[in-house]
Structure 1
Amino acid sequence: MAATVQRARAARSTAWQAALARRFVVTDLLAIIVACTFAQTVWIRDANRSVADVSGSLKWLPYSAVTVTFIVAWFLLLTFGSTRDRTIIGSGNVEYRRIVHATIALFGTGAAVAYLVQAQLGRGYFLTIVPVGLVLLVGSRYGWRLWVRSRRRVGEFVSRTVVLGHSDTAEHFAKAMVRNNESGLQLVGAVLVGSRRRNNEMLLPDVPVLDDADGVLTAIADAQAEVLVVADSHSLSPKEFRRLGWELEDLGVNLVVASSITDIAGPRLHARPVAGLPLIYIDFPSLAPWNTALKRAFDIVASLAALIIGSPVFLAVAVAIALTSRGPVFYTQERIGRGGKPFRMLKFRSMIPGADEQLQSLLDLQGTTDQPLFKVNDDPRITPVGRFIRKHSLDELPQLLNVLIGDMSLVGPRPQVAKEVELYDDDAHRRHRMKPGMSGLWQINGRSRLTWDDALRFDLYYVENWSFMGDIAILWRTVKVVAFGDGAA
């Protein structure tokens, strides 16, 4: 009876994923139809117009038939490309990456078929369908994701989760789940291996220790959990692990194994079964020459465009600073760039003249002289205008010139002063493998609220797992953070 109830509860916990996948079917199809219809309406005025070809053998084929073929093929590619898999929807970048791959496959297949039959499809028609459809598809999925997040904030669309492992690995996993409240895993308890449970023992606040390893099934039932996460698989023998999997299958509880490999993005991980063992291969981080060129080209084009479009804002901020406080409009400071090379970083002045001379005494007062993030809480040196422009990161706009000349990048690790770098340990110096950025993971995950350990973790993750699409995602989120002034000092 208990097993039946547990299976029913587990089925309900994943029902929302199946329902959301069905909604994806509708919105995906609508996005594809809109993109294809838009391209045909703009470029092919007459729906009955035939496709041109060299030999004239395709006169029987109207563009409307080509449009319908694109719609059907695109929808099938999204379906067979597992873009609606319940294990990826709602979080992470895999969902978006699969949509992009399916779309690229459509573009490539369409171009190949057109070449083989010598069809002369209108260039505007062909080149409009893919980008418009991609924007609509990703936009609709992002909209659904925002909706799922709003539901999770009120306790819906989450799976009650128990973590199993040694105390240190279980705690590491629990802290990661607490930091990421969008995972859909609601941690309700822990089962510790290698130690006896003490009364009222807590792994973290709100995460009680339910039992030791011998009572894992009882703990799952008592916690009404739908997911068991094994934080370190070596805590169980292969025979114990296999038997646990069978027992969880009977209960309808999902089994998840959390690898001890942390802060490595998915594209660098490759699972491969060898002799019945699930081995994980890890690629070393590298920035290939063409990736470096792509990142640099994007920096030049985007920074130049931002300088031109943002020139009225530049002028307004400069006038406001000049009219409200004595001193220069701009402020330069030496920062440490790629490879440990110093450069002069440019900003709008947001503090009173001579602010640098007061920094040491202020850090001494708050007792943070030995911490690599030289931030003063409630800094008295900041001017009224400076407080506003710092809140919305307007003081950093002149750094676009640093990006344009190549000292910085639009996205990268946080640029730090030499005295902060002197406090680095060996791990922290890996930040200098890439140019510092105007924005980065530190900017969109708390800015000035971050501790040094968190800021370093974000910077190292970025350096180890750089991708061009990752930069685009960071810039997109930066707009929201800057607009609302979230986390600024």
Structure 2
Amino acid sequence: MPDRSRGWVQGYLVRLAWTDLLVVAIAVGVAQIVRFDSALEPNGAVQAPATLVSVLLGVAWILALRAFQTLDRRVVGTGSQEYSRVVTACLSVFGILAMVDLLFKLNIARGFIALALPIGTLGLLLSRWSWRQNLGRQRMKSQNLEQVLVVGSLQSALPLIERLMTKPTLGYRVVGICVPHRTGYPDSIVMGNSEVPVLGCFDDVCRSVEESGATTVAVTSADALGHAAMQSLSWDLEGLDVEMLVSPGVTDVAGPRVMVRPVAGLPLLHIDKPRYEGANRFRKAAVDRLGAGAMLFMLAPIFVLVAVAVKLDSPGPVFYRATRVGVNNTPFKMWKFRSMVNDADALKSGLRAQDEGAGVLFKMRDDPRVTKVGRIIRRYSIDELPQLFNVLSGSMSLVGPRPPLPEEVEQYDGRVARRMLVKPGMTGLWQVSGRSDLSWEESVRLDLSYVENWSIMQDLVILWRTVRAVFSNEGAY
């Protein structure tokens, strides 16, 4: 019988816990050494004992990380929710500390908090990211994987199997499938270079779990099983120490929009509408404007160097301003460094036969219109940097769907048109998941997934992934 051991999970969580403790100790220790260098404040007020404050803060910090379930095995290792919980725990413990200091007049040095909070928060996020990278490398070597048995019809199961196979870093290996009826189905399903065995029908799930060594059962056809069978299956899997996942049948909707509500004894999935207004919109606009302003200030020397290089390389203006369509189908002028010859748009019609783009996109790997300097700045996406002006003006966001051409928008159907509910971005899921190498369908799916589930934490994760994608220059042409 195959081994269903999950010992790696507990080991991974223990390592995370010890790393959290080490990071918090370092952050508090550095803040104490730097700030608490005397027993008195400059104004003569007596400080709370430095060592006592540091110990209590460290203990409270660790407890906050546990209270916000930052070691929940369902969120660690993938997605932005782990990072979001870490940040929320850090802000909460320091917010409480500030209120206690104010109420009881403890005179805790503000400099201590100003040092410990950013050092600890960044340290915790970097440590979590580092452990994720290590876990991802192990999963690419087929280590530390969840063995998944899929239960459902082929129509509902194949999309899930395909996604799990194309993203091995998620940590799931499909070991088999149970279909509604054994007759009429092949012995195995071929997916790319892999083969998934058909282990039986819905009545054979528990036996198939034991034979395949599955640690997780993913049900994609809950309606076909029926309520009684689903309940019975969940009880049987509890005894086998196997997790049960149920696909809701709604793709690319996740995060805080999804909540299970018990109604008349039935667990119903409540899906909120995407929220693009109010506080969310204000927070995103603030991050966009502040981030764009800071980046323009830091990148000013690069702007000057690139502008000179573009001007010397070929005749024409330094910047290229193209019409794009923004939120709610509003057109705007998008800034870029000119990377093509001056009459590039007029030459496009003669190159249609060589189009390598996906769907309605026009792309060529060896586009003759691209200049020498243009190839360099395109490789590292430097030509996109002037879009920071668009972010400052409010026509674009740092993160969002790709800004489409007017002729592209004219071909959108109702599903694809949902991309226009939010501002287009300088980067997004589409760009950090393959860029020009993605199919049109996959790029649309990623953009729609972003529109349906966007959050500030997800934006920060995408920005971080963008830096890595730019330096790897995969899919850039």
Q: 1:473 Cα shift?
A: 1.4
Establish whether residue 167 from structure 1 lines up as the match of residue 154 from structure 2. Answer: yes
2:24 alignment partner, one of 32, 37, 40 = 32
Q: Is the 8 A contact 1:441 1:459 kept in 2?
A: yes
Relative to structure 1, the CA distance from residue 246 to residue 463 in structure 2 (aligned partners, 3 Å threshold; closer, same or farther) is closer
Q: 2:247 aligns with which of 255, 258, 270?
A: 258
Residue of 391, 395, 402 corresponding to 1:403: 391
Residue 65 (structure 2) pairs with residue 82 (structure 1):
no
How many residues get paired? Answer: 475
Give, in whole Å, the separation in 2 of the partners of 1:379 and 1:162.
46
Query: Residue 104 of structure 2 is aligned with which of 117, 130, 134?
Result: 117
Give 1:379's match in structure 2, choosing from 353, 367, 389.
367
Instruction: Please name the residue that 1:460 is paired with.
Output: 448
Asked if the contact 2:356–2:364 (Cα under 8 Å) also holds between the matched residues in 1, the reply is no
Aligned with 1:314 (options 287, 303, 308):
303
Displacement of 1:193 in angstroms is 1.7
Tell me the equivalent position of 1:95.
82
Q: 2:34 aligns with which of 34, 42, 45?
A: 42
Q: Which moved more, 1:178-187 or 1:148-157?
A: 178-187
Q: Which residue of 451, 461, 464 maps to 1:476?
A: 464
* Aligned-pair CA distance for 1:157: 0.6
Report the alpha carbon displacement of residue 68 of structure 1 after superposing the two structures with TM.
Answer: 0.6
Alpha-carbon offset, residue 423 of structure 1: 0.9
Cα drift, residue 198 of structure 1 = 3.5
Q: Cα distance 1:355–1:37, how it changes in 2: closer, same or farther (>3 A)?
A: same
Partner SS for 1:24:
helix
Q: Aligned partners of 2:87, 2:43: CA distance in 1, in Å?
A: 29
Q: 1:251 corresponds to which letter in structure 2?
A: L
Give me the whole-angstrom Cα distance separating, in 1, the residues matched to 2:476 and 2:335. Answer: 18
Aligned residue number for residue 285 of structure 1: 274
Aligned-pair CA distance for 1:197:
4.9
Could you tell me which amino acid in structure 2 is paired with residue 18 of structure 1? Q
Q: In the alignment, which of 208, 212, 218 is matched to residue 219 of structure 1?
A: 208
**What is the root-mean-square deviation in Å for CA atoms of aligned residues?**
2.4
- Once residues 186 and 137 of structure 1 are traced to their aligned partners in structure 2, the CA distance between those partners, rounded to angstroms, is 29
CA distance in 2, matches of 1:331, 1:117: 59
The answer to which of 33-42 and 78-87 deviates more is 78-87
Superposed CA deviations along residues 277-305 of structure 1, whole A, max 9, x for unmatched, are 22221111122233323322322222222
1:304 aligned to which of 271, 284, 293: 293
Q: Aligned-pair distance for 1:163?
A: 0.5
Counterpart contact for 1:162–1:227, Cα < 8 Å: yes
Query: How far has the Cα of 1:408 moved from its partner?
Result: 1.5
Summarize the Cα distance change of 1:137–1:366 in structure 2 as closer, same or farther, 3 Å threshold: closer
State the AA in 2 paired with 1:446.
G
Give the counterpart of 2:15 among 3, 11, 23.
23
Secondary structure, aligned partner of 1:182: helix
SS in 1 for 2:168: coil
Write the distance in 1 (CA, Å) between the matches of 2:281 and 2:73: 35
Q: Which of 411, 436, 447 is matched with 1:423 structurally?
A: 411
| Contact 1:336 1:343 (8 Å CA) reproduced | yes
Cα distance, 1:342–1:81 mapped onto 2, change above 3 Å: closer
Q: Where does structure 2 lack aligned partners over 5 or more consecutive residues? A: none
- SS at 1:120's partner residue? coil
- 1:36-75 equivalences in 2 (<5 Å): 36-46=28-38, 49=39, 61-75=48-62
- Does 103-112 or 207-216 show the bigger shift? 207-216
What secondary structure, in the 3-state scheme, does the structure 2 residue paired with 1:379 have?
coil
Which residue pairs with 2:128 in the alignment?
141
Give the Å deviation of 1:50: 6.8
Distance 1:405 1:139, change over 3 A: same
Over the matched positions of the two proteins, sequence identity in percent amounts to 39
Task: Report what 1:433 is aligned to.
Answer: 421
Instruction: State the alpha-carbon separation in 1 of the partners of residues 275 and 314 from structure 2.
Output: 46
CA distance in 2: counterparts of 1:51 and 1:262, whole angstroms: 57
Aligned match of 2:327? 338
Q: Secondary structure at the match of 2:99?
A: helix
AA aligned opposite 2:293? L
- Secondary structure of the residue that 1:37 maps to in structure 2? helix
Amino acid of the structure 2 residue aligned with 1:112: M
Distance 2:329 2:298 in 1: 32
Q: Which amino acid in the other structure matches residue 105 of structure 1?
A: S
Shift of 1:327: 2.9
1:119 alignment partner, SS class: coil
Whole-angstrom distance in 2 between the partners of 1:318 and 1:104:
42
| Residue identity matched to 1:44 | F
Once the two structures are TM-superposed, the CA of residue 308 in structure 1 deviates from its matched residue by 2.2
